């Protein structure tokens, strides 16, 4: 669950109390300008979050958005933003009507004091499913962002790594590793969707069916592929069966967690991983495999992937910068 707390220096509630109550779930504060640093030193947020693109992304990622009235106690412009983004809204009480179709306690919750604000947010938090969807999307994004470079990196070094590590008689293992490498991404995805969502929300029947789909499809494809392709056919069957597992899980939850939301920004990791793959594969073919080259490939792969994440401004990069700034601030 993520709560976005947005307002001005005239917030009618104690921000510190609110942040203390909800802890790490709250993103609250001011852009670290000179004025803000002087007047609100304990209420600053990392500068990267205040950039327009990242701010809009933060709004999309938040489950509960809090806003106050604007100048002359008019309806704040952020209220309209949150309505458009379909967020759970807690707002300072209005002096003007937001429209006949928008009603307090139906379309939004209101507050006058710090205590009321906390109570209203708690009403939303106590709903067991609040934040589950957003947490799954966030976890899925982070997990895939790590699985992609591992899979692409393993594929890039596989053909020479296997004979180098195991001996020349195991060249076929390198090809098997290459074919099987995508399974890292598929299993990562199915673990997040299956283990952290389906099981957590008591949809174990979908989880069980997906496992059956994987097992049955694997047997069928083994019977079809092994006679023709041998061990490569068996490996391909395993990869495709895991793809079917995650595909069935995603299809089953498509109305609760739209695939477009779950895969938002994933293309950036795929592109970054693909470029990293080409670079490492080139080194693999140009140079003789040894321990020094292996270390060099790992280092260059990480470097390229990190730089490309920075270039694409991925969610992984943003979270990494926020974590680093908080770490530096504490130390």
pLDDT over 60 at 174, yes or no: yes
142 within domain boundaries: yes
Among the candidates 79, 100, 125, a domain finishes at: 125
pLDDT over 80 at 12, yes or no: no
Average pLDDT over residues 201-216: 90
Average pLDDT over residues 141-149: 95
Question: 178 with 295, same domain?
Answer: yes
At residue 143, the pLDDT reads 94
pLDDT over 70 at 117, yes or no: yes
Question: 76 with 183, same domain?
Answer: no
Count: domains in the chain: 2
pLDDT over 60 at 7, yes or no: no
Question: 120 with 139, same domain?
Answer: no
Question: 15 with 109, same domain?
Answer: yes
User: Residue 247, CB half-sphere, CA atoms under 13 Å: how many?
Assistant: 10
pLDDT over 50 at 6, yes or no: no
At residue 312, the pLDDT reads 93
Question: 115 with 187, same domain?
Answer: no
Task: Give me the torsion for CA of 193, 194, 197, 199, rounded to 10°.
Answer: 180
According to DSSP, the β-strands at 3-5 and 88-92 are unpaired
Question: 168 with 44, same domain?
Answer: no
Among the candidates 73, 102, 125, a domain finishes at: 125
236 within domain boundaries: no
Task: Output 3 or 236, whichever has higher pLDDT.
Answer: 236
214 within domain boundaries: no
Question: 19 with 153, same domain?
Answer: no
What are the pLDDT digits (tens) for 227-274?
999 999 999 999 999 999 999 999 998 888 888 888 989 999 999 999
Question: 44 with 109, same domain?
Answer: yes
226 within domain boundaries: no
233 within domain boundaries: no
Helix (H) or strand (E) holding 90: strand 88-92
Any bridge partners for residue 108, and if so which? 104
pLDDT over 50 at 9, yes or no: no
Question: 41 with 111, same domain?
Answer: yes
Q: How many CB atoms lie within 10 A of CB 7?
A: 19
238 within domain boundaries: no
Average pLDDT over residues 54-73: 75
211 within domain boundaries: no
Across the chain, what does the average pLDDT equal? 83
For residues 249-273, one letter each, b for 16 or more C-beta atoms within 10 angstroms of the residue's C-beta and e for the rest, the string is bbebbeeebeeeebbbbbebbeebb
166 within domain boundaries: yes
Give the residue numbers spanning the domain of 320: 132-205+245-330
Question: 191 with 111, same domain?
Answer: no
pLDDT over 50 at 10, yes or no: no
CATH of the domain at 32: 3.40.50
Question: 57 with 195, same domain?
Answer: no
Question: 54 with 157, same domain?
Answer: no
């Amino acid at each position: 669950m993520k709560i976005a707390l947005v307002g001005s220096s005239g917030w009618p509630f104690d921000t510190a109390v609110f942040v203390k109550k909800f802890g790490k779930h709250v993103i609250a504060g001011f852009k670290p300008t000179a004025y803000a640093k002087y007047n609100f030193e304990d209420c600053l947020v990392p500068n990267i979050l205040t950039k327009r693109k990242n701010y809009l992304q933060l709004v999309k990622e938040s489950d509960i958005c809090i806003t106050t009235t604007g100048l002359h106690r008019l309806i704040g412009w952020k209220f309209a933003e949150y309505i458009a983004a379909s967020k759970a809204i807690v707002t300072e009480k209005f002096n003007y009507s937001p429209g006949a179709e928008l009603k307090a306690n139906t379309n939004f919750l209101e507050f006058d004091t710090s205590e009321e604000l906390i109570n209203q947010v708690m009403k939303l938090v106590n709903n067991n499913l609040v934040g589950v969807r957003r947490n799954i999307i966030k976890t899925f994004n982070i997990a895939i962002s790590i699985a992609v470079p591992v899979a692409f990196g393993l594929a890039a070094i596989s053909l020479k790594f296997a004979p180098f590590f195991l001996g020349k008689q195991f060249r076929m293992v390198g090809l098997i590793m290459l074919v099987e490498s995508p399974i890292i991404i598929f299993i990562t995805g199915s673990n997040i969707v299956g283990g952290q969502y389906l099981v957590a929300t008591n949809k174990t029947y979908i989880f069980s069916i997906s496992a059956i789909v994987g097992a049955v499809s694997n047997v069928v494809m083994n019977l079809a592929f092994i006679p023709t392709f041998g061990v490569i056919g068996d490996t391909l069957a395993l990869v495709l069966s895991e793809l079917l597992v995650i595909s069935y899980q995603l299809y089953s939850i498509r109305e609760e967690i739209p695939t477009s939301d779950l895969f938002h920004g994933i293309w950036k990791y795929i592109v970054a991983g693909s470029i990293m793959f080409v670079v490492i594969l080139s080194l693999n073919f140009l140079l003789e495999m040894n321990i020094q080259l292996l270390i060099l490939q790992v280092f260059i792969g990480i470097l390229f992937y990190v730089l490309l994440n920075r270039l694409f401004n991925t969610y992984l990069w943003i979270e990494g910068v926020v974590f680093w700034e908080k770490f530096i601030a504490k130390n």
